[in-house]
Structure 1
Amino acid sequence: MEKEIGRRFERRLDEEFGGDAGTRRVVARQARDLADSGQFETDVGRRLTAPVVVENLRDAPDDLSLAEKWNWWMGALELAYGGYDRFRVVRWAGGRK
């Protein structure tokens, strides 16, 4: 994925969807992981870029949070192609030891 998947991408997510910094960081990380996997490009035939992510997140219902929008998109990809559940954002209640 383009190098813009970093701080610039996080700022773009903030401008488009709001949410807290931690959520934006997690969504950006999941987007990088998805891009690095090559799965999206193989399945969809389109390179995963920041504009592609934003475009797809805009399709999600307006009342969803950023993380929910991401998960909504991953759910759609899961239904269409399979193998996208691993890119969902999940809350981990564990702590450090």
Structure 2
Amino acid sequence: MDSQRLETALKSEFGGTEPERRAVARAARDLADSGRPSRDRGHGLTVPGVIKHLGDAPDDSSLVDRWNWWLGALDVAYGGYDEFTVRFVEGDEQPGLRR
């Protein structure tokens, strides 16, 4: 997973702040490195794939909400994805659990 390429694609498709894009890209890289998507879904994460899945989230969702929405769906389908959700974004005025 190319984090820089993903951050650029996230900015283009969904906007969000730089810290949000960095947090989602880091979570995506960690998820890819875990090998879980390959084991569960038969293929690894790609930048176009992540963008497509995040695009399926409700339209009014923030970038972090889109990521967590998708990870929630993966967690329901396969289990074990909750650890890759984004719970804190550096620079948030109100850190805590992100939905």
Settle same-fold status: TM greater than 0.5: yes
CA distance in structure 1 between the aligned counterparts of 2:38 and 2:48, rounded to whole angstroms:
14
Q: Residues 24 and 64 of structure 2 are in contact (CA less than 8 Å); yes or no, is this contact kept in structure 1?
A: yes
The question of 1:11 aligning with 2:5 is answered no
Structure 1 residue 81: Cα displacement: 0.3
Counterpart residue number, 1:29: 26
Amino acid at match of 1:63: D
CA distance in structure 2 between the aligned counterparts of 1:74 and 1:25, rounded to whole angstroms:
17
Aligned residues with identical type, % of pairs: 56
Once superposed, which parts of structure 1, at least 4 consecutive aligned residues long, lie more than 6 Å away? none
TM-score, normalised on structure 1?
A: 0.88
Gaps of 5+ in 2: 90-94
CA distance in structure 2 between the aligned counterparts of 1:80 and 1:32, rounded to whole angstroms:
20
Amino acid at match of 1:18: G
Structure with max Cα Rg: 1
How many residues were matched structurally?
Answer: 91
CA distance in structure 1 between the aligned counterparts of 2:69 and 2:3, rounded to whole angstroms:
22
CA distance in structure 1 between the aligned counterparts of 2:71 and 2:63, rounded to whole angstroms:
12
Gaps of 5+ in 1: none
CA distance in structure 2 between the aligned counterparts of 1:46 and 1:69, rounded to whole angstroms:
21
Question: How much is the aligned-residue C-alpha RMSD, in angstroms?
Answer: 1.5
